[in-house]
Amino acid sequence: MNTALKYRRIAVTVFSIIAATALQTTLFVRFRPFDAAPALVLLVVIALARHLPAEFALFTGFAAGLLEDLLSQSPLGLWALTLTTVAYFVVRARDRMEEDSALLIPLVFVLTLGAITLFAVLGTIFGEKTLADAGFVRKILVPSIYNVVLASAALPFFSWALGVRQPANLYQT
């Protein structure tokens, strides 16, 4: 990988994590359609981890989660653990995603659903009353649906921003 592309990927990663965290911890704290907000930082970690080297993808998940922990009202480390876990699953599944791009959108839904559930379970273990909330199922499903809708634009954008060449379609002549 050439140096310019390497610095481009670092800049895109840092800027996108900061922007997504800022939006999620400011705008979407007040603006919550259907009493839930998209998990933007989670979606950005999924989009970035698809194309970054494995160690850097895991570090990106951890750093994004730590930044979200520091700027939100959650106990320190919960988002860091959750987003590192998500980055790990994306790294493990990205070969399958590249072979069959039809898996991307369902995988975003499943990863978002699993990540928010993991966060809720860990939060409950550490004294938050997340699982006792009456609208718990809605607060898991609605952000997952938001992320699926946003993923159709975010995933191609991040592929382009990171300078990833899309494989040629085998069926085109």
Count how many domains the chain has. 1
Separation of first and last alpha carbons in the chain: 30
**Count of Cβ atoms closer than 10 Å to residue 125 Cβ:** 12
Tell me if 170 is assigned to some domain: no
Q: Is the pLDDT of residue 61 over 50?
A: yes
Question: Is residue 171 one of the residues assigned to a domain?
Answer: no
Q: 7 Cβ partners below 8 Å, 6+ apart?
A: none
Kindly provide the residue ranges of all beta strands, DSSP E only, lying in the chain, ordered along the sequence: none
pLDDT > 90? residue 45: yes
Range(s) of the domain holding residue 135: 3-161
Report yes or no on 169 lying in a domain.
no
pLDDT at res. 143? 87
In a domain, 173, yes or no: no
Query: What is the mean pLDDT of the segment spanning 66-94?
Result: 90
Q: How far is CA 147 from CA 1, 9, 166, 167, in A?
A: 31, 22, 22, 25
> Does 39 or 61 have the greater pLDDT score?
61
Please give the single-letter amino acid code of residue 171.
Y
Q: Are 44 and 154 in contact (CB under 8 A)?
A: yes
Pair 67, 18: CB distance under 8 Å: yes
- pTM, rounded to two decimals: 0.86
Q: Is the dihedral of CA 170, 12, 15, 60 positive or negative?
A: positive
Q: Which one has a higher pLDDT value, 32 or 3?
A: 3
